Structure 1
């Protein structure tokens, strides 16, 4: 049996399986993990937690791209 829940990514609802970690979702969206900052329910997530962070119904994440330049 699969359990689905809705989380919000940059303000948009996204339905995912409850077994998906933050890392799984980033891979699903083809996000370059090393060039992003993730905010989870208003707190910055350390990259070492990407594989162990799982979601609850209505959690919010913001994906912030790091852009280099000069």
Structure 2
């Protein structure tokens, strides 16, 4: 059984509602693809700058103020 059959037969989703959702997903897919590509680009830029300035996870971890185990 595929997802469409499950929605129609088990969850009793109306076929027109399922078609409406499928069409909406298809219509907005390009926008989500563009947004994901933009996010990947900006993430790569940030990671590059972190590497360039030697930023590591330890820079984002709190300290106790006593210096025990602090880098």
- The structure that is helix-richer by fraction is 2
Query: Could you state the TM-score of these two structures normalised by the residue count of structure 1?
Result: 0.23
Larger RCO of the pair (alpha carbons < 8 Å, separation 6+) = 1
**Considering only CA atoms, is the larger Rg found in Structure 1 or Structure 2?**
2
**TM-score between both structures, scaled by the size of structure 2:** 0.23
